[in-house]
Amino acid sequence: MAQDDIAASGIVGTSRRDLGGRPWHRWRRTIALGVVLVGLVGIVLAALAREALLPRSALTVAVPPNPFAPPRPALTQAEEAYARGLWKIHDDVKLSAVRMTFAGLAYKTGEIDRTTLKARVDAARDVYARAEIRARELEPPQSLRRVHADYLAAIRLYRQSAVEMAKLAADGREQHLLAAYPLSETASKKLLEVGDALWPGEYVPN
């Protein structure tokens, strides 16, 4: 076919235009967009199907559990409820214990005077008093009676320590801090022992 005939038949023109008269390059763009969209939908569907078909363990266990941690008998429902209840109290007790320690430190390093020391120690003592009331409201199962008693003893020791530290405000004698120290030290040891029984993950390697 001669070039003129081709031009006359309109083939050249038709090959570059859509049936509605739209330019061919616009069709090409639409088709490409469609292919991309179909591809994306396909990928999403394939991913969903894979998620649905994979066994749950493969999805949830990326790292196997620590092989060195010996199995620990599960707490009973009552023990767990007690541990959960005490944990909230423990939060306040621990925070006050370290704040009280820092009050002593700040006094010894000359950052605060004895009036401020007393204010901080009294605040801690109030927390201990409230914590003791809350702890007494818990009903430990028989298996955790000793733990419960230890925790109450720890709170009482912290309170006694606070009372002793606060005496410094009256007479300025640092002997009170020395007398208070073993009380709160023993209390802190008891907290760790209770943690042994109730919260084995309380501290992680760091």
Partner 1 sequence: MNKVVRSVLLFALLALMVSTGLPSTPAQSADMQYSVWLIESSRFMGVPAGAFMPDRAFVPGSSNKMNNKPFFDLPVNIGVIKGGRDIVLYDTGWKQQDYHKMTGTQHWAPIAQQLAQLGIKPEDVTKLVIGHGHWDHAGQLMDFPNAVLYVQKAELEGIEWALNYPNPHIRAVNTDPGGCARTPACGYPPLTLQEIYGKVLSGKAVIVDGDMEIAPGLIIHPAFRAHTAGSQLLEVHTAIGPLVFGSDSYSSWEGIRDWMIANPQQTDTVQQFLAYEKCYKITGGYEHCVAAHEPLSYSEGYPLTRNSWVGPNGSRAAEIVLAPGERSRKP
* Contact footprint for partner 1 (CB under 8 A): 62-64, 66-70, 72, 87, 90-91, 94-95, 97-99, 101-102, 104-106, 108-109, 177-178, 181, 184-185, 187-189, 191-193, 195-197, 199-206
Rounded Cα distance between 41 and 45, Å, is 6
Rounded to a whole number of angstroms, the minimum distance from the CB of residue 120 to partner 1 is: 10
Rounded to a whole number of angstroms, the minimum distance from the CB of residue 200 to partner 1 is: 4
Closer residue to partner 1 in complex, CB, 24/87? 87
For 154, other C-beta atoms within 10 Å of its C-beta total: 27
Closer residue to partner 1 in complex, CB, 45/95? 95
Please report where in the chains the tokens 């994979």 appear, as a residue.
54
Render 159-205 in DSSP notation, one character per residue. Answer: HHHHHHHHTHHHH--THHHHHHHHHHHHHHHHHHHHHHHH-TTSS--
Rounded Cα distance between 86 and 80, Å, is 10
Closer residue to partner 1 in complex, CB, 27/92? 92
Q: Are 76 and 97 in contact (CB under 8 A)?
A: no
Closer residue to partner 1 in complex, CB, 3/203? 203
Q: Are 104 and 117 in contact (CB under 8 A)?
A: yes
Closer residue to partner 1 in complex, CB, 104/140? 104
Rounded to a whole number of angstroms, the minimum distance from the CB of residue 25 to partner 1 is: 44
Rounded to a whole number of angstroms, the minimum distance from the CB of residue 160 to partner 1 is: 15
Rounded to a whole number of angstroms, the minimum distance from the CB of residue 115 to partner 1 is: 18
